Amino acid sequence: MAPSPEAGARPAGPPGVTIRHVAADAGVSTATVSRVMSGRGYASGATRQTVLQAVERLGYRPSASARGLRTARTATLGVLVANLANPVFLPFLRGVEHVAEAHGYAVLIADSRRSRDVERHELDTLYAHRVEALIVGESVENPEHLATLSEAGLRVVRAPDAGGESTAWSAAAIEAPAIVAACTRLADLGHRRVAYVTGPATRPPAPRGSARRDLVVQTLTVRGVAVEPVTMRGTDDPDRVTSAIRELLDTPRPPTALLCAAHPLAPRLLRALADADVALPERVSFLTFGDSPWAAAYRPAIAVIRRDAYTEGRAVAQRVLYDLGAAPEPGSADPPLATFDPRQSMATPPAAAPR
Amino acid sequence: MAPSPEAGARPAGPPGVTIRHVAADAGVSTATVSRVMSGRGYASGATRQTVLQAVERLGYRPSASARGLRTARTATLGVLVANLANPVFLPFLRGVEHVAEAHGYAVLIADSRRSRDVERHELDTLYAHRVEALIVGESVENPEHLATLSEAGLRVVRAPDAGGESTAWSAAAIEAPAIVAACTRLADLGHRRVAYVTGPATRPPAPRGSARRDLVVQTLTVRGVAVEPVTMRGTDDPDRVTSAIRELLDTPRPPTALLCAAHPLAPRLLRALADADVALPERVSFLTFGDSPWAAAYRPAIAVIRRDAYTEGRAVAQRVLYDLGAAPEPGSADPPLATFDPRQSMATPPAAAPR
DNA sequence: CTGTTAGCGCATTCAT
DNA sequence: ATGAATGCGCTAACAG
């Protein structure tokens, strides 16, 4: 291949079949090919067939870069999560991806790892790729970054967990019925002291956290149940968790139920309870946010307040694509929901200990 | 800005600050701005400062579309997974994302959902976006699609689980030591019949599956242990699994250990064992591929063969970016590893039942 | 060291 | 119904 003496250099990489190759092969102009490919504008049935055959033969796929440059629409969504290690993001991401795929959109992921610097860099990358919308999967480290992007014209949508006001459905609203049901059940069973166990506090505090806790506290208090907030530190060290659990339960009037505020925390607490020889549910009842096959498999099976993150992801993506004019209409698909699933880990509390 | 009578229409969307705005603001040419932004080519310290200030002031970020169009390098990686519902992909994806981010690359995700049609469409999208490399996270529904892309010049890299030959490290190689250790332990404990439990067969069969099974069978057989392959169907229906377990164990010479071939299957089996009142580990020992906090929390704690998918993801991404000339060198970072973690769910088998 | 110029692949307008 | 012409934002070659 002799280098041509043109001013602009030919980029490296494989030749790549462009719209011009197709046009030449089909004996039409590039404009016609473009019209056929995008489905906009006129094209007779005959030429359409010819073009499509050429496309097929050459394996032509329009370049998203070129199209995006020309149209300022990249057919790309960005998803920013605070911690990709959190398994709840998987179904959420999945929901987003499925809807996006159905409408020809691509999905870029970004994991801020709870670091402002990383978040900054990730957002830069997403913006550089001109994502048409940014879905924020959880709380943001530095709201200023987002504000800047928002002013720059980027559409920002927050998942139910992400806090802020621009949420389609608030996490609290979704969870409220299930939380009330669970708290009512605890009270009905006779519990009068409940520990609300959270992981180490994050900075900034997870909005979800406070909304949940507030509702739990309110609901239980109204029913005459005292709530004791417990912050579990060093959750990666089983021994620390175990001693914390011992300390919590070795009191004159210990809580008779543990409400675990975050699913990833649950197995760690259960392990500590087992290590501390605490009988479930005889000595304490156990209930956690978030479900998994393991929670159901555990003996006793663990009661849960479960959210359908997949549907949440779908719903958020639907809404965004509708806003972008890329999806027909949100439709009245199943709204995101939360359910309370009482299981064997919740039971009547032991008789009150002597004072 | 008065609309110019040019032929090309102005695309919709927010104005967006381009390289020209920066150039004007800084009083230099666009070429100079480009040089400063990309770090390639000369630029005096003074002008560099001026440009950077203008960039900062205007909030300019180069458009990846335009840059990609011009350079044929999109700074984008694609990750194709067969089933985004599988939790192992989370750490893997995380590893890829972290390395990509560190080198300014974006990550596009695609979930084929084990459907050829979806896969086809997903690959089309990834190709349209001209991902510089495609990381395949698991087996592919239709190898032809991949072959086509590969011929089109796309770099395809397969994760250890993805089968094929172009893998940096084969899953079997990574897992071999741990598998041998686990099998040896089973034999040493006195087990003579082991059930190897898999989920419903996939089409095409997961390569990982057969490689694992072959090694297990071979290792156990050599040590005088019989292996009984069991395919569990209808894994979403607890009752079906329970009856299958009952059937498996209600035989004259039942297996004394269950080896679960896939982590998502484990909680379902454990639930069925509990429902069938099978004592663990007294009546049967239990061992599974894949680890999670829940496996450690279960009582008895579940023995596992664990792989470090995060490191695998990092390693794959490192390698790809190195191949692309975007990362310095793979370095001799920790290689992906698998470990066998014996836990309480493995014990001496019950005395042989009378014939 | 910096500016001018051309063109990457595509969608669009306008003329035919 | 189709083609010619234009420019989206950016970078690479070249001239100065």
Contact criterion met (CB below 8 Å) for B263 and B292: yes
Give chain B's largest Cα–Cα span: 96
- Tell me if A155 sits within 8 A of A323, measured CB to CB: yes
Average pLDDT over residues A175-196: 96
Residue window 155-174, chain A: list those with CB within 8 Å of chain B. Answer: none
In this predicted structure, which of A127-136, A160-169, B107-116, B167-176 has the lowest mean pLDDT?
A160-169
User: Across the beta sheet with A193-198, what order do the strands follow?
Assistant: A226-231, A193-198, A257-260, A285-289, A303-307, A338-341
Q: Are strands A257-260 and A226-231 parallel, antiparallel or unpaired?
A: unpaired
Measured between alpha carbons, how far is B74 from B154 in angstroms, rounded to an integer? 12
Distances (CA, A) of B347 to A299, B84, B317: 19, 35, 40
Q: Read off φ and ψ for residue A127, nearest 5 degrees.
A: -70, -40
**pLDDT of the residue at A165:** 52
Q: What is the pLDDT of residue B15?
A: 63
Whether A294 contacts chain B with CB within 8 A: yes
Q: What is the pLDDT of residue A131?
A: 97
Per-residue pLDDT band at A142 (split at 50, 70, 90): confident
A179 to chain B nearest CA, in Å? 24
| Greater pLDDT, A23 or A201 | A23
Question: To which residue do tokens 């794959």 refer?
Answer: B316
For A233, the token pair is: 């530190």
* Tens digit of each residue's pLDDT (9 = 90 or more) over A316-335: 999 999 999 999 887 766 67
B113 interfaces chain A, CB cutoff of 8 Å: yes
Instruction: Give strand D nucleotides closer than 7 A to any protein Cβ.
Output: 1-14
Average pLDDT, chain A: 88
Report pLDDT digits (tens) over A208-256: 667 788 999 999 999 999 999 999 999 999 999 999 999 999 999 999 9
> Under a CB-based contact definition with an 8 Å cutoff, are residues A14 and B153 in contact?
yes
Nucleotide nearest to A16 (CA to C1'): C9
Contact B157, B135 (CB under 8 A): yes
Phi, psi of A60 (to 5 degrees): -80, 135
Q: What's the CA A273/C1' C12 distance, rounded, in angstroms?
A: 67
pLDDT digits (tens, 9 = 90+) for B240-253: 999 999 999 999 99
Q: What is the pLDDT of residue A138?
A: 74
Domains of chain B: 19-68 (1.10.260.40), 76-158 (3.40.50.2300), 171-307+337-341 (3.40.50.2300)
Burial A109-133, CB ≥16 within 10 A → b, else e: bbbbbbeeebbebbbebbbbbbbbb
**Which of B204, B316, B304 lies closest to B259 in space, CA to CA?**
B304
C1' of C11 to CA of A219 (Å) = 58
For the stretch B201-217, pLDDT in tens is: 766 666 566 778 899 99
For chain A, give the number of residues. 355
Other CB atoms within a 10 A radius of the CB of residue B157 amount to 19
Minimal CA separation from B4 to chain A, in Å? 17
Percentage of chain B beyond pLDDT 70 is: 89
Beta strands in chain A (DSSP E): 76-81, 106-111, 133-136, 155-158, 193-198, 226-231, 257-260, 285-289, 303-307, 338-341
Among A145, A265, A294, the strongest candidate for a mutation testing the B interface, having the largest count of B CBs within 10 A, is A294
- A128/B contact by beta carbon, under 8 A: yes
What is the share, in percent, of chain A residues with pLDDT greater than 70?
89
Q: How many CB atoms lie within 10 A of CB A2?
A: 4
Rounded Cα distance between A24 and B10, Å, is: 28
pLDDT band for B4, please (50, 70, 90 cuts). Answer: very low
Residue A162's pLDDT is what? 66
pLDDT band at A205 (very low <50, low <70, confident <90, very high): low
With a cut of 50, say whether residue B10 has pLDDT above it: no
User: CA A53, CA A60: separation in Å to the nearest integer?
Assistant: 10
- Residue at minimum CA to C1' distance from nucleotide C12: B8
* pLDDT at residue A4, as a whole number: 34
User: Model pTM?
Assistant: 0.90
Give the count of beta carbons closer than 10 Å to the beta carbon of residue B39: 8
Nearest partner of B149 among B162, B165, B163, B136, judged by Cα: B136
Look at residue A9 in the predicted model and tell me its pLDDT.
34
Alpha-carbon distance values, B350 to B98, B278, B279 (Å) = 48, 12, 11
Q: How far is Cα B230 from Cα B242, in angstroms, rounded to an integer?
A: 14
> Looking at residues A295-313, what average pLDDT do you find?
95
According to the model, what pLDDT value does residue A352 have?
A: 52
List A residues 20-39 in contact with B (Cβ-Cβ < 8 A). Answer: none
Are A263 and A292 in contact by the 8 Å Cβ rule? The answer is yes
DSSP state of B114: T
For residue A28, the model assigns a pLDDT of 95
Q: How far apart are the first and last CA of chain B?
A: 94
A237's CB contacts (< 8 A; 6+ apart) are: none
The answer to whether the Cβ–Cβ distance between B124 and A11 falls below 8 Å is no
Q: A residues 312-351 near B, CB within 8 Å?
A: none
- Report strand pairing: B133-136 vs A133-136: unpaired
- Bridge partners (DSSP) listed for residue B231: B198
pLDDT given for residue A354 in this prediction:
41
Of B93, B91, B85, B84, the closest CA to residue B293 belongs to B91
Closest to A331 (Cα-Cα) out of A311, A350, A351: A311
Q: How do A193-198 and A226-231 pair as beta strands?
A: parallel
**Predicted confidence (pLDDT) at residue A258 exceeds the cutoff of 90:** yes
Q: Which residues contact A315 (CB under 8 A, 6 or more apart)?
A: A95, A168, A169, A330, A333, A335, A336
Which residue, A27, A80, A91, is CA-closest to A53? A27
Q: Does A112 touch chain B if contact means CB atoms closer than 8 Å?
A: no
CB contact under 8 A, A297 and B298: yes
Determine the average pLDDT of the residues in B82-108. 94
Lowest mean pLDDT among A24-28, B154-158, B160-164, B275-279: B160-164
Helix axes B89-102, A89-102, angle to 10 degrees: 80
**Partners of B98 in the beta sheet?**
none
Q: In degrees rounded to 5, what are phi and psi of residue B131? A: -55, 140
Task: Of A257-261, B50-54, B87-91, B181-185, give the lowest mean pLDDT range.
Answer: B87-91
Amino acid at A336: P
**Stretch A154-161: mean pLDDT, rounded?**
85
> Which residue is closest to C9 in terms of CA–C1' distance?
A66
pLDDT at B43 (0 to 100): 86
Nearest-by-Cβ selection for B267 from A85, A130, A297 = A297
List of E strands, chain B: 76-81, 106-111, 133-136, 155-158, 193-198, 226-231, 257-260, 285-289, 303-307, 338-341
A97-115 per-position pLDDT tens digit: 999 999 999 999 999 998 9
Helices and strands (H, E) in chain A, number of each type: 13, 10
Residues of A in contact with B107 (CB under 8 A): 108-109
Token readout for B338 is 């698998």
Residue B330 and residue B238 in contact, taking contact as beta carbons nearer than 8 Å: no
- Contact with chain A for residue B300, Cβ under 8 A: no
For residue A292, the chain B residue with the least C-alpha distance is: B267
| End-to-end CA gap in chain A | 93
Q: Among A164-178, A182-196, A335-349, B80-94, whose mean pLDDT is lowest?
A: A164-178
Q: What pLDDT was estimated at residue B353?
A: 45
Residue holding tokens 């197995």? A267
pLDDT-derived band at B45, boundaries 50, 70, 90: confident
How confident is the model over B160-164, as a mean pLDDT?
66
d(CA A103, CA B125): 11
Q: Which residues of A touch B122 (CB under 8 A)?
A: 101
Neighboring chain A residues of B101 at a CB cutoff of 8 Å: 110-111, 118, 121-122, 125
Torsion of CA B94, B95, B99, B105, to 10 degrees: -40
Phi-psi map region of B313: left, alpha, beta (phi>0 left; psi -120 to 50 alpha): alpha
What is the arithmetic mean of pLDDT over B96-105? 96
Residue B174: both structure tokens together: 């990574």
Note the pLDDT of residue A208.
62
Considering chain B, what is the average pLDDT of its residues?
88
Residue A20 pLDDT class (50, 70, 90 cuts): very high
